Amino acid sequence: MATSKDNKKLVLDENCKIRPDIDYPTSWGYKLIGRDKKKLLACIKEAMGDKEHLCSLGNVSKTGKFTTYNTSCTVETEEERNRIFKYFEKHGDVEMVI
């Protein structure tokens, strides 16, 4: 959960009028949920290109239908952070990105 300048906890949803104060560059993490772990890993590699990043396999759902991958990298700007998020969000093999 993010905090505001006065250390109040923020819930970052469509109703939030206050934006957190993020200093760039910063390390930023993404959680991808999908059905095929090889395709999720390929998606992460495509999005990151030559950018140094960390990637780890997360949980598998009880039924084995969904897998998560956690990835993080240093983003230089808000635009870069959002661009990577949108890449994941629009990718056909990603069911959800957090």
pLDDT values of the chain reduced to their tens digit, one per residue, 98 residues: 454 455 556 565 667 777 778 899 999 999 999 999 999 999 999 999 999 999 999 999 999 999 999 999 999 999 999 999 999 999 999 999 99
Give the separation between CA 90 and CA 88, rounded to whole angstroms: 6
DSSP state of 17: -
Classify residue 77: in a domain, yes or no. yes
**H-helix segments, 1-98:** 37-48, 78-90
Classify residue 58: in a domain, yes or no. yes
DSSP state of 33: E
Classify residue 9: in a domain, yes or no. no
Q: Provide the domain limits for residue 93.
A: 27-97
Domain of residue 91, CATH code: 3.30.70.260
CB atoms within 10 A of CB 58: 15
Classify residue 14: in a domain, yes or no. no
Classify residue 56: in a domain, yes or no. yes
Classify residue 66: in a domain, yes or no. yes
Helix (H, G, I), strand (E, B) or coil at 45: helix
Q: Output the pTM of the full model.
A: 0.81
Q: Which of 44, 61, 51, 50 is nearest to 25 (CA)?
A: 51
Please count the structural domains in the chain. 1
Classify residue 1: in a domain, yes or no. no
